[in-house]
Amino acid sequence: MQIIFDNVKYKNFNNINFKIDDNKITGIIGPLGSGKTDLSLLIGSYLKPVSGSIIYDKKISYSNIGIISNFSFDDMLYGTVEQFIKKKSIEYKYKINSINKRIIEVLKMVGLSESILKESVFDISESEKIKVILSQILIYNPELIILDNIIEDLDAKSRTKLFKLLIKLKKFYNKTIVITSSNVDIIYEFCDNLIILYNNEILDSSDKFKVFENKDVLNNPLVMKPLVIEIKEKIKNIKNIDLGNNDSINELIKAIYRELR
């Protein structure tokens, strides 16, 4: 699903313009209070702009957009995983004769076994809860999935596993995914495109490598920069060596090794 913001105004957002590319993972990064949640809700059509246009190339409906936020966990206080997944299916009158088959399909998509259905939602881990909420959303096969500030409390291993799952959903199931976070390193490593947000302003939005080639972004002391970018810039300034595009520390180490051989 492609989404175009054309001179959108909402609260403190004034005439913002950017594009969400179809079948890509787009990361929105910015500090606390920069407007990430409002922007994600505008993208998902949960909020409407005061002026300007948000243009979608596909039909917008509850079944075509899924969002996971901190509020998504509010219903995970009691009951089984199966009851939780089925809850919205019953509310939205999903085909009852197909629901059990579809649940098994989506559990396989997110890497969960059928046995988790009988477990209490209260007892499963945080990473499993996210996968269960994803399963509930995937019942409807939405084209757009939004994750708003939900990776902050995951440990590094769980975050990496989640992003590998999201890449799988993008690659094999043609999902367009938007993620908001203040964790610039993990967003930079796994996302295709970035939107740099500060104080309700879009400083840049494009391919992740191009964003940090923008001098206005790179030299702005208020913009959070990935550690890999900071190390790469120091090496370039001291040794005059351009190590190319690297989106993780591991990739940077490999580039340094190749340069030194």
Which tens digits make up the pLDDT trace of 155-166?
888 888 888 989
260 in any annotated domain: yes
Q: How confident is the model at residue 193 (pLDDT cuts 50, 70, 90)?
A: very high
pLDDT of residue 91: 65
Q: What percent of the chain has pLDDT over 70?
A: 97
- Pair 171, 46 in one domain: yes
pLDDT tops 80 at residue 151? yes
> Looking at residues 114-142, what average pLDDT do you find?
90
Are 147 and 53 members of one domain?
Answer: yes
Question: Do 161 and 36 reside in the same domain of the chain?
Answer: yes
Domain match, 39 and 163 both: yes
Domain that holds residue 151: 1-58+143-218
Indicate the number of domains in the chain.
3
pLDDT digits 0-9 by tens, 35-55: 899 999 999 999 999 999 999
82-101 in b/e form (b: 16+ CB < 10 A) is bebbbebbeeeebeeeeeee
pLDDT tens column, 197-255 = 888 889 899 999 999 888 888 888 878 889 999 998 888 888 888 888 888 898 899 98
How many whole angstroms separate alpha carbon 96 and alpha carbon 80? 18
Q: For the chain, give the mean pLDDT.
A: 88
